[in-house]
Amino acid sequence: MEHVSHAAHSAIATIAAARNRHMVDQLADVRAKIKELQGEESALKAQISAAMGSADSLGGDQFVAFQRVSERKGAIDEARIKAAGLDPDALRKPAVTVYSLVVEPRVSEAAE
């Protein structure tokens, strides 16, 4: 019989537990992981930008990062539109219905 390390056993137990978790709980787990990864992404982007300095690229072993400059149009200034005697709502695109799935801790778990 092959010896299984404690870390491997723990990983197997974690995977088994994840498969038994309710899908709502799994979604909350995924969102927490995404938030954690976004923080790591921000930190790495700042490090890469600092390492680039004024250069426009920085190469790793497998990938190359490029710094590109682009422009975005600014937001509409509703106050100026109204001051010009126009109705900002008449200039808007039609409203779109958006559905969001919000996941929050249960009250009993949140209190712990």
Q: Is the pLDDT of residue 1 over 50?
A: no
Q: Report whether 63 contacts 73 (CB < 8 A).
A: no
Q: Is the pLDDT of residue 20 over 50?
A: yes
Q: Which among 66, 68, 50 is positioned nearest to 58, based on CA atoms?
A: 66
Total count of domains within the chain = 1
Is the residue at 83 inside a domain?
A: yes
pLDDT at 34: 95
Q: Please spell the DSSP secondary structure of 18-30, one letter per residue.
A: HHHS-HHHHHHHH
Is the residue at 69 inside a domain?
A: yes
Is the residue at 55 inside a domain?
A: yes
pLDDT at 31: 94
Domain enclosing residue 20, as ranges: 6-95
Is the residue at 101 inside a domain?
A: no
3-state secondary structure of 110: helix
Is the residue at 22 inside a domain?
A: yes
pTM above 0.75, yes or no: no
Q: Is the pLDDT of residue 13 over 70?
A: no
